[in-house]
Amino acid sequence: MTAPSREGVGAARPAPVTHGRVLRIALPIVLANATVPILGAVDTGVVGQMGEAAPIGAVGVGAIVLTSVYWIFGFLRMGTTGLAAQAAGAGDRAETGAILWRGLILAGLAGLALIALQGPLVWAAFRLAPASDAVEELARQYLAIRIWGAPATIALYAVTGWLIATERARGVLGLQLWINGLNIALDLWFVLGLGWGVGGVAMATLIAEWTGLALGLWLCRDALALPAARAWGRLTDRGPLARMLSVNTDIMIRSVLLQASFTAFVFIGAGFGDVPLAANQVLFQFLAIAAYALDGFAFAAEALVGQAVGARARAAFRRAASLASLWGLGAALALAAAFWLGGPWLIELMAKEPEVQAVARALLPWVVATVLLSLAAYMLDGIFIGATETRAMRNAMLVSVAIYAAALPVLIALAGNDGLWAALIVLAVARAVTLGLAWPRLERRVAAG
């Protein structure tokens, strides 16, 4: 095999890392994330107009099944961002484009595999989470349509990661506005106008996914059209392929462990009764809002740190990490203040049962503390993803989850549901501490080049 061309490689002289660059990445991401819950509310609302419970349940179950399956491939977004940012920082335009091509090829193969395996996947989903006959029948109709969007949905992870890496965050915002806006418009037309029911919701999403991918590829057209980027010898070069596999595998393991920790929180909370479970669920929405906001600054760290590492610029690396973290701290403080002051009102808006309101208000200080004490973990995740120090992330998560698992029974025995929230803070602090311990090695790597 001939060595791939190094077209586009030049002396790496990174642009100065400024507050403006951080905000130009972070703010569009925050706005893009804000569109996600709106779509879910519209999906539920339009089928709710049918006047039956089964369609609402079917859309909810079907969406959860696919979200859970697609979530496994979320590593493609993070891995693509780190690798592409480093290639961009090194001035290697051809490799920057090749990383996107490899991500798209992997996404296409994964999507086709899901389509081929849709029967067993749907069967397994309903064995794990049985539903009524009416809900299951409608959910199967929903899944049978939406599964054909699997290649597009997974490919969009790679596209989004690449756009973030190259500081095209406004493209990410435009992409989300298109996908979710079109989805909402088609929801209204297909369900309320044409009376297609659950199938109309699925078809609306399918069309939005594929047209969204088309728009995403157009936004990346300069990289995709570069001949050296799509040269077969470069795309199949064992070195970059092995690195991509290693990075993505580490991220997948880390993400599965993190999701398992959150799932355990929900399941254990269910054991305290319906009222604490409902209160926890309400307050978990606060954490979701915080995650959507803080993600923007973590993504900025991914892109700017990755470019600095690729350029072997230690000063730029440190400045990118510090500026992104500074803005993240500002966002966390603002969110904590908003939850502290407006939390009681939001709780009353989201839950009408007085007992649930009372329990949620009592737990509100835990939410404020969790937002503040989770910031370091969010930002370190972004920094380590940008630097593709994914083995350290994986190992840190293994240790953190072990600490969390040990803390859970002790804290729950001492304080019940409050102890459960305390354990969640233990997890966040453990993640930050374990990644902090890996920081000197990351510094040495950047310094060595």
Residue range 134-146, pLDDT digits in tens: 777 888 888 999 9
Among residues 78, 79, 158, which one has the least CA distance to residue 111?
158
pLDDT mean over 199-214: 94
* Per-residue pLDDT, 268: 87
Distance between CA 443 and CA 189 in Å, rounded?
54
Q: Which two tokens stand for residue 27?
A: 């703010």
The residue count for the chain: 449
Residue 7 has pLDDT above 50, yes or no: no
Q: Which two tokens stand for residue 302?
A: 């991914």
Confirm if 226 and 87 have CB atoms less than 8 A apart.
no
Joined together, the tokens standing for residue 363 give: 């737990």
How high is the pLDDT of residue 349?
Answer: 80
pLDDT of the residue at 192 = 86
Crossing angle (nearest 10°) for helices 238-270 and 390-415: 10
The DSSP string of 85-136 is: HHHHHTT-HHHHHHHHHHHHHHHHHHHHHHHHTHHHHHHHHHHHS---HHHH
CA 248 to chain centre: 14
DSSP state, residue 73 = G
Average pLDDT on 264-290 reads 85
- Mean pLDDT, rounded, of the chain: 89
Helices (H), 220-273: 221-225, 232-235, 238-270
Q: How far apart are CA 280 and CA 351, in angstroms?
A: 11
Arithmetic mean of pLDDT, 363-368: 96
Radius of gyration of the chain (CA): 22
Give the separation between CA 51 and CA 65, rounded to whole angstroms. 24
Reported as a pLDDT band with limits 50, 70 and 90, residue 5 is very low
Supply 68's token pair.
Answer: 């859970």
Find the mean pLDDT for residues 72-85: 93
- pLDDT of 41 reads 64
> Given a cut of 90, is residue 44 above it in pLDDT?
no
E strand segments, 20-70:
none
Find out whether 90 and 6 touch, Cβ atoms under 8 Å: no
Domain boundary assignment for the chain: 15-236, 237-449
Overall average pLDDT of the 67-91 stretch? 91
Instruction: Please choose, from the candidates 321, 311, 314, the residue with its C-alpha nearest in 3D space to the C-alpha of residue 376.
Output: 321
Stated pTM of the model: 0.89
In this prediction, residues 176-198 reach a mean pLDDT of: 91
Distance CA 332, CA 371 (A): 6
Give residue 333's pLDDT.
97
Contact predicate 276/417, CB 8 Å: yes
Mean of pLDDT values over 257-285? 85
The answer on pLDDT for 289 being more than 90 is: no
Please report, rounded to a whole number, the percentage of residues in the chain having pLDDT higher than 70.
94
pLDDT (mean) for 117-135: 80
- Residue 4 has a pLDDT of 40
Please report the pLDDT score of residue 1 as a whole number. Answer: 36
Nearest-angstrom CA–CA distance, 87 and 49: 50
Q: Which pLDDT band, with edges at 50, 70 and 90, does 53 fall under?
A: low
CB atoms within 10 A of CB 280: 24
pLDDT for 8: 45
Share of the chain above pLDDT 90, in %: 62
pLDDT tens digit string along 225-267?
888 888 888 888 889 999 999 999 999 999 989 988 988 888 8
* 80 and 100 Cβ atoms separated by less than 8 Å: yes
Mean pLDDT along residues 83-104: 94
Q: Decide if 8 contacts 241 (C-beta within 8 A).
A: no
What is d(CA 301, CA 315) in angstroms, rounded to the nearest whole number? Answer: 14
Residue 221 contacts by C-beta under 8 Å, 6 or more apart in sequence?
Answer: none
Q: pLDDT: is 389 or 128 the higher one?
A: 389
Checking if the pLDDT of 130 tops 50, the result is yes
DSSP, residue by residue, 346-361: HHHHH---HHHHHHHH
- pLDDT tens-digit series, residues 307-365: 999 998 999 999 999 999 999 999 999 999 999 999 999 888 877 788 888 999 999 99
Tokens of 182: 């079109």
